Amino acid sequence: MSPTEVLRSAAAADSTAPAATGTMASALRRLADSGRLELPAPGSGHTIDRWRTLADFTFGNVVVGRMVEAHADAAAILAELGGGAVERGQIWGVWAAEPPKPVLQARFGPGGWTLDGRKPWCSGATICTHALVTARAGEERRLFAVDLGQPSVRPVPGTWHAVGMRESDSGAVDFHAAAAEPIGGPGAYLARPGFWHGAMGVAACWYGGASAVARTLHDRATDEHALAHLGAVMSGLQAAALCLTEAAHQTDADPTDRSETARLRARTVRAVVEDAATATLDRVGRALGAAPLCADADHAQRVADLTVYLRQSHAEQDLAQLGRDYAEREYSWLPNR
């Protein structure tokens, strides 16, 4: 698949953006009920189709794309770790952020596993029906499936004040002896090859969101100044699309990561796409000035949403890890081969 096909596919999604009417929750429920959230698994031979769909959704609405990516990631995790299948109509999140505090505790008792404490950064806190949640069981990190309909699971009001990604409803959630089902063994969430495959799905969403921001410039570029910015933006997005396309082929060729290159591949792809998306935001603003940010509500919200979403990257911290990965390997002018 060529990068121009990726971009055309993303553009086609705009006219049917699922969040165009109604609330985010109702939009996602319609998608869940329709089966449109059922995507090919990463490494299944159709990884580029999975990422194209994620880019499509994010092109139409950045928050929808982010929520669909999490749901699709949850389905892939459950399949990889033997946790069963996501049922049609359900909306899943993946709540795996683990700052030093607060700490969500998992305990095993006569009735099985339960979770106690507060979990921050829970995207779709009042939207999702289920979530995969990481928690500490002693010194070990474990993953659990949780039905969010339990009265012992309570989103915490007033913990999400974002302007960008406002509709993702990513506040904190309190758990009070909430029943939970363990998925995989201790440490399995991070140790599986699919962790890095999933990390590239986020990059596909960044690409879709940046492509939508770029269209505003594409539609308004007339003078040499704006056209120069458009040329720079599109060359960066084409490079990102090529990187995603090649990574999809490599993932399908080695889904279980026998070559032990998935981590390096994922970190490289995320760095390339983040650079292209960041440059797009910067150049579109410099080319068009404040006008679309002040007079075009859709563009302004898209820019705000993508700006926050890109901070799911850890910037120089991620680049340092990527540099370390490359430094530990024999140098080659084809570093991913």
Return d(Cα 173, Cα 249) in angstroms, integer: 38
Model confidence at 116, pLDDT cuts 50, 70, 90, reads very high
Percent of residues, the chain, with pLDDT higher than 70: 93
CATH topology of domain 21-89+192-329: Butyryl-CoA Dehydrogenase, subunit A; domain 3 (1.20.140)
Entry pTM: 0.94
Model confidence at 335, pLDDT cuts 50, 70, 90, reads low
Return d(Cα 54, Cα 47) in angstroms, integer: 11
Report whether 87 contacts 75 (CB < 8 A).
no
80 — phi, psi (to 5°)? -70, -35
Residue 126 has pLDDT above 70, yes or no: yes
249 — phi, psi (to 5°)? -65, -40
Kind plus residue range of the DSSP H or E element containing 107: strand 105-109
Half-sphere exposure of 18 (CA within 13 A, CB side): 25
C-beta atoms surrounding 11 within 10 Å: 17
Q: Where are the alpha helices (DSSP H) in the chain?
A: 3-12, 24-34, 47-60, 62-80, 188-191, 194-220, 224-253, 262-288, 291-295, 297-309, 316-327
**Considering only the top CATH level, what class is 92-186?**
mainly beta
Domain(s) of CATH 1.20.140.10: residues in the chain? 21-89+192-329
Average pLDDT over residues 190-208: 97
Average pLDDT over residues 244-265: 97
Residue 142 has pLDDT above 50, yes or no: yes
Return d(Cα 67, Cα 323) in angstroms, integer: 30
Return d(Cα 185, Cα 111) in angstroms, integer: 19
Average pLDDT over residues 116-133: 97
Tokens 């506040």 correspond to what residue? Answer: 171
Quick one: which of 107, 98, 96 has its CA closest to 189? 96
Q: Chain-wide mean pLDDT for the chain?
A: 93
179 — phi, psi (to 5°)? -65, 135
Q: Does the CA dihedral 246-249-253-257 come out positive or negative?
A: positive
Domain(s) of CATH 2.40.110.10: residues in the chain? 92-186
Q: Are strands 92-95 and 140-147 parallel, antiparallel or unpaired?
A: unpaired
Q: Is the peptide bond before 3 cis (omega within 30 degrees of 0)?
A: no
Report whether 229 contacts 287 (CB < 8 A).
yes
